[in-house]
Amino acid sequence: MKINHSEVKVIACDIDGTLLPYGASAISDEIFELIDQLTEKGIHFLIASGRGEESIRDLFAPVQNKIEYVCANGAIYIEKDELIFTQPFERSEINGILNDFKKDTNLTPVIMCADQFYIILSGDEEEKKSKREFLKESVLENIIEVEGPEEIPQEICKLGVYQKEIMNAKELSSYKHRWPHAIMVSGGGNWLDVTYRGTNKGSALKKILHRKGMTPDNLMTFGDNENDTEMLQIAKYGFAVKNAVQVAKQAAAYECENVASILRKLV
């Protein structure tokens, strides 16, 4: 593998499973130092995650003003505290999906808008209480509980669906068949990421590169899971980390031990 250092102008990196091992809660100081050095060299460092802005800012507090944010699997892009674009759902489509999910007590959709999170809980009161406690621990953003999608006034950009028991292939296929305009991919662990067809980290990065006057030859990406495949595919320097799922490794041009091992070569 030979990296043309002069080509790399934009780096986009996933968080969970890529920069942050599953189960871990803090980014290493070395990553912050590398981001500092890379941005000083004029390289744009983007976090491309299924998470929301607040969660990313908390994790990357020491460098939060130096990075850019591709949130909600590409449905939201924030640059220098400014919301640049969203790629939201068609409203009728997302209302139907949410009402469908609401019938399944195994599923808890966390609904991401540009500046607010919502949840719709199903099950008896004991089940709802358990879900509230879980979400309070696992999701950093403030969440508003609603009875149904009609109570949500904003554009809906993404669903992060927590599966108490991970759906089998037949169950997931049934949802995909009913809602062909939605993309449903693993977000890691028990989470299913749901975005509107055509919305993903790769589609967002294409828009961002165009905005910056750059091409995929200027792009380096890092990922580990199904929701990273498009951004791994489009980048000249797409890296799947060693623990990545097979579909991510197939999408990437390269594999690496970890993100830091490659970033060190650029500073």
- Does residue 4 form part of some domain? no
Q: How many structural domains does the chain have? A: 2
101 and 190 together in one domain: yes
114 and 173 together in one domain: yes
114 and 133 together in one domain: yes
% residues pLDDT > 90 (the chain):
79
Q: Which of 51, 18, 79, 46 is nearest to 157 (CA)?
A: 51
- Does residue 149 form part of some domain? yes
Task: Return the H-helix or E-strand segment holding 241.
Answer: strand 237-241
- Does residue 5 form part of some domain? no
104 and 185 together in one domain: yes
- Does residue 182 form part of some domain? yes
Q: What is the pLDDT of residues 82-110, one digit of tens each?
A: 999 999 999 999 999 999 999 998 999 99
What sign results for the dihedral spanned by CA atoms 81, 90, 209, 253? positive
Q: What is the pLDDT of residues 186-226, one digit of tens each?
A: 888 889 999 999 999 999 999 999 999 999 999 999 999 99
Q: Which domain holds residue 247?
A: 10-87+199-266
| pLDDT score recorded for residue 243 | 94
- Does residue 259 form part of some domain? yes
Q: What CATH number did the domain enclosing 83 receive?
A: 3.40.50.1000
121 and 173 together in one domain: yes
